[in-house]
Amino acid sequence: MLEACDLVKRYGPVTALDGFTLHVSAGEIVGLVGHNGAGKTTFVEIVSGLIRPDSGRVTIGGKSPSAARGQVGVSPQHLGLYPSITVREHLKLFGRLAGLRPAALSSAIDDMAVALRLTEIMDRKTGNLSGGQQRRTQAATALIHRPSLLLLDEPTAGADQETRAAMLAMVKQCAGEGAAIVYTTHYLPELTELGATIAVVRDGRIIARGTDDELVQGLPGEVLVSFEDDGEVRVSTTEPTATLIDLLRNAERPVATVEVRNPSLDDLYRSLAVSHDS
Amino acid sequence: MIPDAVRDSLYRIGAIARHNTLIRRRDPGQMIAYIIMPMILMVVLKPLYVRAVPGGTTQVVTGLLVMFSVFALGIAGNSILVERNWQTWDRLRQTRASSAEMLIGKTIPLFIFMFFQQTLLFVYGCLVIGLPVPHSLGFVVLAIVVWAFTLLAVGAALATIARSSGELSMVSDIGAMVLSSLGGALVPLSIVPGWAQAGAHVSPGYWALAMIKSAVRDNASGVLVPAAVLAGLGLVAGAFAVRRLTHGFGRARML
C-alpha cells in the first residue's frame, strides 16, 4: 500500500531524512519509534503531500502522494482545529472534502461519533473542549472517509486514558478493515497493544524493524535480589537466568525476594536515546 | 452535463465556502463596524464636503465607500492568516482540495460580504445622503464586483507574506489610509497639490473612486478603463496568493 524508497530531505545544513525506506502493507500497523528530531514527522509530511523529498520515491497504492490524497487520512502531531466550529461541523467539512455525499456523510458522522466517543460533544465548539476531546475530534476528521492509508503522528500525545483506549480500538478496527497504518508514538506499550510491527528511526533512516520480541532480543534485562537485612543487588544482564543462579549461589545472606525483568520496548527506546546522545 | 471532476471540485469549494461562512457568522464584529462607521461619517461629513467641493455629496458617499471597503481588506487577509495560527491550513492541504479550491472557497463568503457592504453603502448614500440615483445599475454592479475582487486578491496576497495578525493589521490599516487618501477618497483630488494629483494614479483607491463616480454618472468609458486596471491588479495579486499558498504557506514561520 505504502512504498517509500530511499527518501532524502534536507533543511539547510540539517538532514531530516537520509535514505528512509519503509513499506507498509494493507492491514498492517507500523509503529514508528525514535527520539525527537529522528525524522518521523518529516516522513509523515512527505507521505501526506505537504512537502516533497529532495530525492527518493513515495507511492500510495501505486500513485504519488498528491494524486492519492483522497485515500489518505492524516492526524498530525499538533492540533489543527477551528475553535469556533463544533465537532459535527468539523466532521462535515472534512467528510465533504473527502467527497462524501450527504447520505454517506451523515452515516459516517454517526459511526465516528460512536467509535471515538464523541456523541456527547458533537454540538460543542472545539475551542471549549478538553485536550483529549480535541485529540479524538482530530482523529475523527482523519478517519471520517475510511482511508486506505492512515498516518497518525503521536495521536495520543497528552491524551487521557479514555481517549487512548478509544483511539487504539479505532486504529485496530481500521487495520482489521484493511487500512495500512503508520503510527508514530513515544508510548511504546501502545504498539504492543496494537500488535504493530515496529520500525526504529534514527538520524533520518530506519535502523531496525520487527516485532517487539525481535527488537528487544540482545538488550539487557535486569535481575534484582533483595535480602532479609534490607540490602539488595541489581544487575543489568543479557542472560538473566544464568545471572540469577550465579547470584543465589554466591549469596552470603538470607534472600527475601528475587525479581527478573525481561528487556522491554522502553529499554530499546532508552538504548536508542543513549546512543543518540553519545 | 458537468464532468465528474468539475462537479467534485465545485462540491469541495462549496464545502469550504459554507465552512467559512459559519466562521464569519460567529464573529461578525469587524464586518458590522465597517458598515456602520462609514454610514455615520457620511452624515457627519456631508456638510463639510458640500461646502468644500462641487459634487460634495457624491464625493462623501463614494469616498467613504472606497475607504471602508479598503479597510475590509484586512478581514480578507486575516481570514487566511488565521488558518496558519490555528494550524488548519496544512490540514486542508492534506485533503483532496487544491490550493485554488481552498482560496476560492475561503473568499466566496468574503466576496459576498464586500458586495453586500458596498451595495448597502451605495443604497444608503442614495436614500439618506442624497447621492443621485444612477440610471444604469449595471455599471454600479460591475464597479462593485471588480473592486471587491481586487480587494480580496490583494488581501489574500498580503496574508501570505505577513508573519502575524499585527503585521497584517499594520500593513492593511496604514495601506488603506494611504491608498484611499492618495486616491482622493478622503480629500478630493481637486483641492490637493499638483504632485499629489499626479501621484494618485498609482493608488488602486484612485481607480476605484474614478470607476464608482463614473458608474454614478453612467459614464461607460469612465467605468471600463479603471475596471480593467483594477481587474489586472487583482489577477496578478490572486496569482501571487495562489502560488504562495501552494508553496509552504501553512508551514511558514510566524512571529
Using CA atoms, how far apart are residues B210 and B204, in angstroms rounded to an integer? 10
Give contacts of A85 with chain B, Cβ < 8 Å. Answer: 19, 22-23, 26
* Closest residue to B23, CB basis, from A76, A81, A85: A85
Using CA atoms, how far apart are residues A223 and A235, in angstroms rounded to an integer? 5
- For residue A43, give the amino acid letter: F
- For residue A91, give the amino acid letter: L
Q: Is B188 helix (H, G, I), strand (E, B) or coil?
A: coil
In this structure, what are the phi and psi dihedrals at residue B97, rounded to the nearest 5 degrees? -70, 135
Residues in Cβ contact with B53 at an 8 Å cutoff, skipping those fewer than 6 apart: B59, B188, B190, B191
Give contacts of B27 with chain A, Cβ < 8 Å. Answer: 84
Contact A69 B96 (CB under 8 A): yes
Length of chain A equals 278
What's the confidence (pLDDT) of residue A208?
83
Give contacts of B85 with chain A, Cβ < 8 Å. Answer: none
> Does the CB of B253 have a partner CB in chain A at under 8 Å?
no
> Does the CB of A85 have a partner CB in chain B at under 8 Å?
yes
pLDDT confidence bin for B162, thresholds 50/70/90: confident
How many angstroms separate the Cα of A46 from the Cα of each of A4, A38, A51, B10?
Answer: 10, 14, 5, 27
Among B179, B22, B118, B213, which Cα is nearest to A123's?
Answer: B22
Give contacts of A98 with chain B, Cβ < 8 Å. Answer: 95-96
Q: Is B16 helix (H, G, I), strand (E, B) or coil?
A: helix
User: Alpha carbon A231 to chain centroid distance?
Assistant: 40
Contact B22 A49 (CB under 8 A): no
pLDDT in 10s for each residue of chain A, 278 residues: 899 999 999 998 999 999 999 999 999 999 998 888 888 899 999 999 888 999 999 999 989 888 888 899 999 988 999 999 999 999 999 999 999 999 999 999 999 999 999 999 999 999 999 988 999 999 999 999 999 999 999 888 878 888 888 889 999 999 999 999 999 988 888 888 898 999 988 889 998 888 877 877 777 888 888 888 878 888 888 887 888 888 888 888 888 888 888 777 677 777 765 665 55
Among A81, A86, A43, A85, which Cα is nearest to A65's?
Answer: A43
Q: For the residues B121-143, what does the mean pLDDT come to?
A: 92
pLDDT confidence bin for B250, thresholds 50/70/90: low
What is the CB-side half-sphere exposure of residue B146 using CA atoms within 13 A? 26
Tell me the residues of chain B between 93 and 152 that have a Cβ less than 8 Å away from chain A.
93-97
Q: Which residue of A has its CA nearest to B105?
A: A97
> Does the CB of A50 have a partner CB in chain B at under 8 Å?
yes
DSSP letter at B126 equals I
Is the ipTM of this structure higher than 0.90?
Answer: no
Alpha-carbon torsion A123, A127, A132, A138, what sign? positive
Q: What angle do CA B138, B141, B145 make, to 5 degrees?
A: 140
Q: For the residues B7-29, what does the mean pLDDT come to?
A: 94
Among B82, B101, B105, B218, which Cα is nearest to B162's?
Answer: B82
Q: Which residue of B has its CA nearest to A85?
A: B23
Contact A76 B91 (CB under 8 A): yes
Determine the distance in angstroms separating the CA of B203 from the nearest CA of chain A, rounded to an integer.
Answer: 36
- pTM of this structure: 0.82
* Closest residue to A50, CB basis, from B19, B93, B97: B93
> Does the CB of A141 have a partner CB in chain B at under 8 Å?
yes
* Closest residue to B95, CB basis, from A89, A92, A98: A98
pLDDT tens-digit map of A31-51: 998 888 888 899 999 999 888
- Name beta bridge partners: A208: A200
Alpha-carbon torsion B230, B236, B242, B248, what sign? negative
Using CA atoms, how far apart are residues B82 and A135, in angstroms rounded to an integer? 20
Determine the distance in angstroms separating the CA of B150 from the nearest CA of chain A, rounded to an integer.
Answer: 27
| CB B35, CB B121: distance < 8 Å | yes
Contact B15 A74 (CB under 8 A): no
| CB A258, CB A223: distance < 8 Å | yes
Q: For the residues B61-90, what does the mean pLDDT come to?
A: 88
DSSP letter at B255 equals -
Q: Which of residues B247 and A209 earns the better pLDDT score?
A: A209
Using CA atoms, how far apart are residues B105 and B15, in angstroms rounded to an integer? 7
What's the confidence (pLDDT) of residue A278?
53
pLDDT tens-digit map of B22-63: 999 998 988 899 999 999 999 999 999 999 888 899 999 999
Please give, one letter per residue, the 3-state secondary structure of chain A: CEEEEEEEEEECCEEEEEEEEEEECCCCEEEEECCCCCCHHHHHHHHCCCCCCCEEEEEECCECCCCCHHHEEEECCCCCCCCCCEHHHHHHHHHHHCCCCHHHHHHHHHHHHHHCCCHHHCCCEHHHCCHHHHHHHHHHHHHCCCCCEEEEECCCCCCCHHHHHHHHHHHHHHHHCCCEEEEECCCHHHHHHHCCEEEEEECCEEEEEECHHHHHCCCCEEEEEEECCCCEEEEEECCHHHHHHHHHHCCCCCEEEEEEECCCHHHHHHHHHHHHHC
Using CA atoms, how far apart are residues B130 and B42, in angstroms rounded to an integer? 11
| CB A201, CB A33: distance < 8 Å | yes
What's the confidence (pLDDT) of residue A274?
61
What's the confidence (pLDDT) of residue B126?
94
How many angstroms separate the Cα of A39 from the Cα of each of A32, A34, A61, A156, A234?
Answer: 10, 8, 23, 19, 35
What's the confidence (pLDDT) of residue B232?
96
- Residue B2 pLDDT > 80: no
A72's grid cell: 489518505
What's the confidence (pLDDT) of residue A272?
66
Q: Which residue of B has its CA nearest to A90?
A: B19
Q: How many CB atoms lie within 10 A of CB B81?
A: 27
Using CA atoms, how far apart are residues A57 and A63, in angstroms rounded to an integer? 11
Strands A197-202 vs A205-210: parallel, antiparallel or unpaired: antiparallel
How many angstroms separate the Cα of A257 from the Cα of each of A220, A229, A252, A254?
Answer: 20, 12, 14, 10
What's the confidence (pLDDT) of residue A138?
94
* Closest residue to A96, CB basis, from B15, B86, B248: B15
Instruction: Work out the burial of residue B77: count CB atoms within 10 Å of its CB; fewer than 13 is exposed, 13-18 middle, 19 or more buried.
Output: buried
Using CA atoms, how far apart are residues A129 and A137, in angstroms rounded to an integer? 10
Q: B17-48 burial string, b = 16+ CB within 10 Å, else e? A: bbbbbbbbeeeeeebeebbeebbeebeebbee
